[in-house]
């Protein structure tokens, strides 16, 4: 049985930590919508709900995007959640190109829970790149898609429904971006 109180504690905590952040683009969407959508995808694409997976999905960006420490996270949400969040977090002291390559290399080594968070995260990011007013040229967006696919390909074999959703999201996004590039 899922402890809804813990889920809401994670939502409140993540909302506070991300309170000043916005998603990329001109739509000025509060950043917290992103981790909520990632967790929502995981509830939709899983027959059995996993409390720690959902909490980690809600918190998946707090270590890399806020001043939250792993110690603080562990005190509030436990070791398993903290390890999952650490597993999907980038080392922000590294250059972006190195971080992106490390995600590709690390993907096959992730736990099944971390792989699911990664896949859901990439689905949401691709959806945002296509639907939000992000001022990237179509070429950069297509490069993101190609990179995200490499990461997700390393995560396959953990959740058929989530992987199928990624494939459909990827296909639709690639088609739309290629049309945009032509026009």
Kindly report which listed range (30-34, 58-62, 85-89, 177-181) carries the lowest average pLDDT score: 177-181
Catalytic member of 50, 51, 65, 74: 65
pLDDT band at 176 (very low <50, low <70, confident <90, very high): confident
- Residue 86 designated active-site: no
| 21 has pLDDT over 70 | yes
Which stretch of DSSP H or E encloses residue 131?
helix 112-131
pLDDT band at 48 (very low <50, low <70, confident <90, very high): confident
Q: Quick one: average pLDDT of 8-33? A: 91
pLDDT at position 49, please? 87
E strands present in 44-181: none
Predicted structure pTM score = 0.95
Q: Which two tokens stand for residue 91?
A: 């080392």
More confident site: 22 or 148: 148
Bridge partners for 22 per DSSP: 30
The domain locations on the chain are 4-182
pLDDT at position 11, please? 97
114 vs 98: CA distance, rounded Å: 20
Taking all residues of the chain, what is their mean pLDDT, rounded to a whole number?
93
Phi-psi region of 29 (alpha: psi -120 to 50; beta: other; left: phi over 0): beta
Closest CA to 62 of 40, 85, 91: 85
Q: Which two tokens stand for residue 153?
A: 């390909």
Percentage of the chain lying above the pLDDT 90 cut: 80
Kindly report which listed range (12-16, 28-32, 41-45, 81-85) carries the lowest average pLDDT score: 28-32
pLDDT at position 183, please? 55
Q: Quick one: average pLDDT of 89-116? A: 97
- Residue 61 designated active-site: no
Catalytic member of 9, 50, 51, 64: 64
pLDDT band at 182 (very low <50, low <70, confident <90, very high): low
Domain 4-182 fold is Hypothetical protein af1432 (1.10.3210)
């Amino acid at each position: 049985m899922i402890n809804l109180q813990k889920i809401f504690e994670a939502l409140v905590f993540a909302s506070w930590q991300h309170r000043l952040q916005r998603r990329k683009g001109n739509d000025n969407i509060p950043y917290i919508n992103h981790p909520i959508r990632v967790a929502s995808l995981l509830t939709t694409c899983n027959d059995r709900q996993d409390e720690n997976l959902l909490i980690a999905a809600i918190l998946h960006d707090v270590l890399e995007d806020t001043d939250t420490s792993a110690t603080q996270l562990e005190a509030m949400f436990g070791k398993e959640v903290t390890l999952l969040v650490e597993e999907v977090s980038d080392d922000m002291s590294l250059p972006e190109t190195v971080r992106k390559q490390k995600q590709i290399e690390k993907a096959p080594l992730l736990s099944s829970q971390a792989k699911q968070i990664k896949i859901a995260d990439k689905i949401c990011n691709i959806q945002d790149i296509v639907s939000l007013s992000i001022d990237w040229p179509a070429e950069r967006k297509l490069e993101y898609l190609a990179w995200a696919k490499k990461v997700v390909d390393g995560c396959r074999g953990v959740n058929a429904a989530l992987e199928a959703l990624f494939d459909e999201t990827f296909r639709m996004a690639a088609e739309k971006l290629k049309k945009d590039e032509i026009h």
